[in-house]
Structure 1
């Protein structure tokens, strides 16, 4: 797969993935998303600091540029990993939760029976379904069962 496509899927997956404390232990991508956002927030001041450090300490520019390129590549690597994760097929243990949530949404007539995906279900589909369930099934006491596991 093309790196640019993986990057785009990673950005989309970052926006789709629900950030909840109860899901952190089950999905490593939530932690990765938190680190990416943290890096994007604090990386520009770090790069300026590296340039100032290079100027005042008389360090070779090549060392500073390599350090800056490495620092800039970390969030990009994380987003590409998220894109790869978004397109990977859902494991069998999560497929059961996917089907349960989908049945509940169909029973409440939130989604139609025609919208059932027959091809391989990936993490992107699962997170989109979880967002839909979170917004429509919050009033049920047993609907958040998948969040507690």
Structure 2
């Protein structure tokens, strides 16, 4: 049950995190989210094609290895969601907490705070704040921090 909770947290985190190019230099989330999304689309198909080719070339005597390779390729996106789920629950370092508070102050300054101000505790909280900032603030205001 813990694994399912972490995977679902990773999926929610990947949907919440704003995938903006200026965040690439600071956070690895953009790369992990991009590769995980591509893996979800292409790896199941690739695993079936690989299994068919291996079965054609090696025959039925290697069926166990073929199935293991197929399951490995199909399950690779789960590793990305697992990493994202663990990352979403990690607590923020003090520098990122201060940076998030500056962003929250800018949202309040522009009078566009939709949600109640809360404390930034985890990367998931930062993702929600960044998403809100990108939706409500001007791009020139957001680029000030990058």
TM-score by length of 1: 0.87
Q: Which residue of 1 aligns with 2:19?
A: 19
RMSD (CA atoms):
1.9
CA distance in structure 2 between the partners assigned to 1:51 and 1:68 by the alignment: 6
CA distance in structure 2 between the partners assigned to 1:56 and 1:143 by the alignment: 54
Tell me the CA shift for residue 25 of structure 1.
1.7
CA distance in structure 1 between the partners assigned to 2:45 and 2:123 by the alignment: 34
Q: Which residue of 1 aligns with 2:84?
A: 82
Tell me the CA shift for residue 50 of structure 1.
1.9
2:66 to 46, 64, 67: 64
Tell me the CA shift for residue 88 of structure 1.
0.7
Alignment: residue pair count: 144
Q: Report which stretch shifted further, 47-56 or 93-102.
A: 47-56
What is the correspondence of 1:1-149 to structure 2 with a 5 Å cutoff?
A: 2-59=2-59, 60-111=62-113, 115-118=116-119, 121-138=121-138, 141-146=140-145, 148=146
Tell me the CA shift for residue 51 of structure 1.
2.4
TM-score by length of 2: 0.89
Structure 1: tracts of 5 or more residues without a match: none
| 1:43-72 residue CA offsets vs partner (Å, 9 max, x unmatched) | 122122122113311341111111112112
CA distance in structure 2 between the partners assigned to 1:143 and 1:79 by the alignment: 27
| 1:70-109 residue CA offsets vs partner (Å, 9 max, x unmatched) | 1122110110110110111111111111000111112222
Q: Report which stretch shifted further, 45-54 or 5-14.
A: 45-54
Question: In structure 1, the residue corresponding to 2:141 is in which secondary structure?
Answer: coil
Shift >6 Å, 4+ stretches:
none
CA distance in structure 2 between the partners assigned to 1:2 and 1:77 by the alignment: 14
